[in-house]
Chains A and B, each alone.
Chain A
Amino acid sequence: MSAATLKRGLQALREEIDAPVASFFSSCMHCGLCAEACLFYTETGNPEYTPIHKLEPMRRLWQQEFTLLGRLQSLLGLSKPVTDAELEAWQPLVYDSCSLCGRCSMVCPVGNDVAYMIRKMREGMSASGNAPEGIMGATTRAVKIGSPMGVRFPAVQAQARHVKNDTGIDIPVDVEGAEYLMLMSSMEIINFPEYMESVARIFKQAGKTWTISSTAFEATNSGIQLGNSDIAKELVQRVVDAAEKLKVKTVISPECGHAYTAIRWEGPNLIGKPFSFEVKHIVEVLDEFRTAGLLKTEGLEEARLTFHDPCQLVRRGGVIEPPRNLLKMVSQNFVEMEDNGKMNWCCGAGGGVSANEDAAELRLTAFKRKKVQLESLHVDTLVTACANCRMQLEEGLEVNQMDMPVVGLTEMLAEHLVETPDDEASDDKIKIPAGD
């Protein structure tokens, strides 16, 4: 990262201002509705957390430089330029109190995609040196070590050995010509080792070839949360290089909402060209297996359970039905939260909030929204499909003395997998090339 200055920050903001942004700023009537949709406002009552207010410095820059009236005002010395102190003061608004969940964008009567703009605003914040330490640290680790939590490939290998010991299944590494490249999130590698085992078993049953890559195993992209497109691009490029080298057809984003939008939607735009492969969230792939009859499960969960929609997967990513189809396959007591699907409430920890120590307290305050939702449902189990949500949900439940297991959807499916009687036979089907 070259030296961060106000000048660079403002330049980054200028580059982010496009026609949608100009139409959004032109249209805002300060009606305040977006505040009512944002959990950081609803749970704190602090008006500063009104989504559109989080963009005020960017709006002023737009007004002063991209409208005739604003330019005239500036010429006459009537406008107040954006200062470094101001951007610094906005740091808690742009990072600590925004998970980029996009709920505000759903309710704005004039149609402003506020979250789209906050993502852009972060480019200016980080270029001017006003991003939080925590997210900068995670990003530096992602660039230097290969993962935001400092996980190195040997840790992944260690986990692969565990899976081998427990299930007898080899985790394919760097297998050229596999159909799928499986990415992981460090959160899963460290906290949820069940995930790797689950996909290994499911893919074995489905008879699909897959691989992990030793050079690109990390799916998350801190560069996006930070708002540094150069770094974000570098991280995407790693995955693209690995996918192209291994000639896979599809790259699978793990149970992480943010990782999914990062590679699925921002990825090609960051590197400036379309991908030569497809990108799918694991839940999408599993739902395809289900439709194709490749996912065979038995038994139904009896517990009353609900699904926490990871915003990046559902609202921002457009994957609403697949997790529900899958859940219904293995449960008989699935109930929806009051605001679900595209209107779900965020867990409070997305968009870099969980990596940002400054936001530690606020994120647990924001969790109160989920708490209320869960309490009114009287469920025994909470299922989700995002490791980051899962960490936050587990912590939030614990802090609030709510005793409820939080389960990853893939893992729940794997528990109901019909065991193939003839392991040898299905091993043949996987066709892992010799030499692995």
Chain B
Amino acid sequence: MNEVNFLLWVRGIGFDIALAIFVFGIMLRFMEILWLGRKPELAAVRGNGVASGMRTVFSRFLPADSNTLKRSLFMVVAGYGFHIGLFVVIFLFAPHAELIESVTGLSWPTLPSPIVDFFTVLTMLALMALLWRRLTHPVLRFLSTGEDYLMLLLTFLPVLTGYMAFHHLFLSYGWMLGLHILSVELLLIVIPFTKLIHMFTLFMARWYSGFMAGQKGVQS
């Protein structure tokens, strides 16, 4: 396979397969969760839970309390750095936005490349910091499984290859871009079947927590 064919494949059929698995997988995971249902609350509730559920969906983007924040500062800073960096890189890089527009028709303003470049480096540094923390902090080292490390790697690859393609490092631009797209496709395929699904299910988790708390008139 030469450079052109490779690029054509990852942009064509490869992308379609990955996207199909991604969409199907997410729907499957949502069904798996939702069909389990929930028993109705029979206690006399203090509220209907909806407002609290909505609030919790958003409030958990912020640290809960200063004590826990102090105790977990490294994870919180690295975690924010990574998530914000990744968000900027994915959605505010002009070529990405163009791709999304071509698929969905939705468009929004983007950032100049040097700024996105900065966020790319930030994202990679944050991911490395998270890896280091996982390897050294007693709780994280204890909790971490192969999957946790694999997730870090699979998230790192698209960022790294994107960076290298943009800067024409190592391989020709075409090959590198192809690898970049391939690594994204790999990520799309694994998201639904690994804990990366948290990017979607966390909204359900927060909703349920907040909703149940709201019914009890409990702060969440």
Contact = CB atoms under 8 A, between A and B. Distances in A.
A42 B43 CA distance: 34
Given A23-B208, A316-B218, 9 more contacts: A27-B205, A31-B140, A32-B75, A32-B139, A36-B68, A107-B63, A110-B60, A265-B216, A268-B42
Interface in B50-69: 56-57, 60-61, 63-65, 67-68
Nearest to B46: A318
Interface string A251-263: 0000000000000
Contact of B201 (A23, A32, A105, A269): A23
A31 B195 CA distance: 12
Nearest to B130: A31
A107 B216 contact: no
Nearest to A26: B201
Given A19-B34, A111-B210, A112-B209, A274 B139 contact: no
A50 B206 CA distance: 20
A107 B46 contact: no
B212 interface: yes
A273 interface: yes
A52 B64 contact: no
Q: 7 nearest interchain CB pairs?
A: A111-B206, A47-B142, A318-B217, A20-B208, A268-B42, A110-B202, A36-B71
Contacts of A339: 65, 67
Interface stretch (A63-71, A173-181, A323-331, A346-354): A63-71
Nearest to B62: A109
Interface string B143-160: 111001000000000000
A113 interface: yes
30 contacts: A18-B37, A20-B205, A21-B36, A22-B33, A26-B197, A27-B197, A27-B198, A27-B202, A27-B205, A30-B140, A31-B75, A31-B79, A32-B139, A45-B138, A47-B138, A48-B142, A107-B64, A107-B65, A109-B61, A111-B205, A111-B208, A111-B209, A113-B208, A113-B212, A264-B43, A266-B43, A273-B42, A274-B43, A317-B216, A339-B67
B143 A23 contact: no
Given A32-B143, A272-B42, A338-B67, A27 B36 contact: no
Q: Which of A20, A52, A66, A279 has the most CB of B within 10 A?
A: A20
B80 to A, nearest CB: 10
A37 B139 CA distance: 12
Interface in A354-376: none
Contact of A269 (B34, B42, B137): B42
A343 interface: yes
A47 B198 contact: no
B209 A26 contact: no
Nearest to A42: B71
Interface residues of A, number: 63
A391 interface: no
Contacts, number: 176
A29 B191 CA distance: 13
A22 B143 contact: no
A21 B204 CA distance: 10
A136 B180 CA distance: 58
Given A108-B60, A268-B42, A343 B195 contact: no
Contacts of B220: 105-106
A265 B43 contact: yes
Interface string B99-140: 000000000000000000000000000000000000001111
A18 B138 CA distance: 31
Interface of A: 17-24, 26-33, 35-37, 41-42, 45, 47-48, 50, 52-53, 66-69, 105-113, 116, 264-269, 272-275, 278-279, 315-318, 320, 338-339, 341-343
Contacts of B4: none
Given A20-B209, A111-B60, A267-B43, A343 B67 contact: yes
A273 B38 CA distance: 15
A269 B43 contact: yes
B219 interface: yes
Given A27-B198, A343-B65, A269 B206 contact: no
A109 B83 CA distance: 13
B193 interface: yes
Contact of A22 (B36, B56, B209): B36
A109 B209 contact: no
B73 to A, nearest CB: 10
